[in-house]
Chain A
Amino acid sequence: MTPPTMTEAPPSDAPTAGATPALSVRNLTTRFHTQDGTVHAVNGVSFDLSDGEVLGVVGESGSGKSVTMMSLLRLIPSPPGDIAAGEAVFGGEDLLAMDLDDLRAVRGGKVGFIFQDPMTSLNPVVTVGRQIVESLEVHDPGSKKAMWARALELLQLVGIPAAEDRLRCYPHELSGGMRQRVMIAIALACNPQVLVADEPTTALDVTIQAQILELVKELRSKLGMAVIWITHDLGVVAGLVDRVLVMYGGQIVEDAPVAELYAQPRHPYAHGLLASLPSANSRGTRLVNILGQPPDLRSEPDSCSFAPRCPHAFDRCHSENPVLTDVGGRSVACWLDDGRGLGAEGADWGEPVGGASAEGEDA
């Protein structure tokens, strides 16, 4: 693949964390008002994203990963969704407070978004070339010829063979991996500063996932954009990102550089998540597992949401919600050892129980 050179691409090939963050989120709170009560999906999430940084967001389904990122661009349907508090400063402006016309210039322009399912996020009755051009018409209009040339350039950039023919294809004529490449091409169309990818490889096979991951690494070094990569696959995170946010119950429980998190997770949940993965020598042994079920988010968190499943929980965990505290190079939200999380000895998950006794009780 010999992709064409991109305009406005910074020459650096290993982007370093800048001093001013590209995106700064503070105390983001999103709720859904449903018939069953208010669901507290995101509870006071704060983080910074540096220029050119790849940030991984991991957590189970329902932990608030996607809702957090969709809230940033106000893509949450309202009602029932309601971004109750917080700010998200991007390029000196608060995305959550700006008026919709200005926000529209950010969505798909300065911030690109890749959704999980390439089968449903492309319009089935419009050719892929037209869908790329559509994004350009809104954000970066030029002559028709120039825009179609740009669309072709983008398809080549994301490694689609015979790109010229593919421009006229409809989504159903492409395979899943190709469709996801088209989604990436659309997200990149306007040279975004930040690319948000919401589980972009979950629906794909591992060999196709490997292709997409290589592509994103290559594009990131070529284009120098910051990437937020939402996933539940801890393997993908290990190979791709610089820093990881671990989310649980709508809150960030640990925010750490990737190597340090995997070497020594400080939050018991992060520890359990990593310990539960099978390894080459786990045969014949029981896998460590986190007992119980994910939390019910229908009440305002007034205690640590992980406490009911945590083997280390003590009185304070059940009565007070820990805040994310900087502990030198990383942040952890845990009361253990005075809010600094687990020590080097790691968590004690006891005799792993899986089958016949475990699993929490709130069916």
Chain B
Amino acid sequence: MGTDTLVSVRDLKKHFPVTKGALRRKVGAVRAVDGVSFDIERGQTLGLVGESGSGKSTIGRTLLRLEEPTEGTVHFDGVDLGGLSPGDLRKTRPRMQMVFQDPHACLNPRMTVSSIIGEPLVEHESMSSKERNARVEELLGLVGLKAEHANRYPHEFSGGQRQRIGIARAIALNPDLIVCDEPIAALDVSIQAQVVNLMEELQDLLGLTYLFISHDLGMVRHIADRVAVMYLGRIMELADVDALYEDPRHPYTRALQSSAPVPDPVVEATREKIVLEGDIPSPSNPPSGCVFSTRCPEAVDRCRSEVPVWREVSPGHGVACHLVDAPAS
């Protein structure tokens, strides 16, 4: 763990029980997150990419203790969140916030913008209503909205503007960490750029640390410092952004990058594509050995029987694959 590590996750597991019958007998478990470890340095952005069902969102929610982890620990600024009493946990909550995917669903349609943004202030700060209104106005300014928007309702705003309201609410309590769960997936291309610029600007201004969950590899490359690639509840590869995009070592990372279309007809006409066959297997019944072995174009017998261990191929660049050899040292 580095000296300036804000979040440190070790062997995190989150299994959701599958029950059956009137007695809700447990018959299995959906292994949404199955043994994940990573650190996030203060002021940096960790990108978390993967297909739907790979456990990205569950990691985000478990990190904030919106879900209780089945196993494993989450240290936030040196404190083990799992060991906190409910009261202490509540005192830590203002320091970790979340921005949600769907800007239409995450704002209460019956509340005005000022009460949406002001609600965390009411909960966690003792402010007079005058101070609170001043703070709301300041927050609106920070996210590029106007003070007169404060008394309007969410339906009066476009998707991009609503996402700005969600961001204002998340930064209201001066958090250290913001978990961004697909914050731009529901927005139009030209609006995505606006929101990403805003998030980067706020990061510089307020020293925020982001966990940026996305399936858009291009945007993750733009915003993240380090990137973790997930598949079926496990991290396949974790590296600095340049290393991951220029020298991907895991076959899944290569396939994922190759599947993402490049907005350039010249490149598209010539580049080699790796098209994976089949679908992501069910997390309630993951394949034995390496979870990617059923779709991996390079899989050998060993992959189907033995779970690959995490190995560092270079400092800060880790891969879980049998076919990647650690550097001879």
Contact = CB atoms under 8 A, between A and B. Distances in A.
Interface string B290-318: 00000000000000000000000000000
B259 interface: yes
A289 B187 CA distance: 13
Contact of A363 (B141, B161, B217, B256): B161
Interface in A157-179: 175, 177-178
Given A258-B265, A363-B156, A356 B279 contact: no
Contacts, number: 160
Contacts of A177: 279
B154 to A, nearest CB: 10
Contact of A274 (B196, B255, B258, B263): B263
A213 interface: yes
Interface of A: 60-61, 175, 177-178, 205-211, 213-214, 232-239, 258-259, 262, 272-274, 276-280, 282-283, 286-291, 293-294, 352-359, 361, 363
Nearest to A258: B265
A238 B264 contact: yes
Contacts of B141: 356
A280 B14 CA distance: 34
B144 interface: yes
Contacts of A286: 197, 200
B29 interface: no
Contact of A277 (B200, B259, B263): B263
B279 A238 contact: no
A286 B223 CA distance: 10
B147 interface: no
B202 interface: yes
Place the interface of chain B in its size category: 35 or more
B111 interface: no
B145 interface: yes
B288 interface: no
B148 to A, nearest CB: 10
B18 interface: no
Given A175-B279, A286-B200, A359 B265 contact: no
A359 B161 contact: yes
Most buried by A among B142, B158, B202: B158
Contacts of B143: 355-356
Contacts of B265: 238-239, 258-259, 262
A283 B197 CA distance: 11
Contact of B263 (A205, A238, A288, A363): A238
7 contacts: A208-B51, A277-B218, A282-B222, A283-B221, A287-B222, A293-B161, A356-B141
A262 B158 contact: no
Residue in A177, A210, A237, A359 with the greatest tally of chain B CB atoms within 10 Å = A359
Contacts of A279: 218, 222
Nearest to B282: A175
Contacts of B219: 278
Interface stretch (B4-12, B69-77, B268-276): B268-276
B328 interface: no
Contacts of A209: 259, 261
B197 A359 contact: no
B260 interface: yes
A294 B188 contact: yes
Contact of B275 (A211, A239, A274, A278): A211
B146 interface: yes
B36 interface: no
Given A235-B262, A238-B262, A273-B189, A280 B160 contact: no
Interface in B227-253: 241, 245
B158 A293 contact: yes
A260 B224 CA distance: 32
B280 interface: yes
A256 B319 CA distance: 44
B61 interface: no
Nearest to A244: B265
Interface in B78-115: none
A93 B263 CA distance: 37
Given A239-B261, A287-B222, A363-B149, A355 B198 contact: yes
A105 B263 CA distance: 37
B190 A363 contact: no
B215 interface: yes
B13 interface: no
B226 interface: no
Contacts of A235: 218, 260-263, 268
A122 B199 CA distance: 39
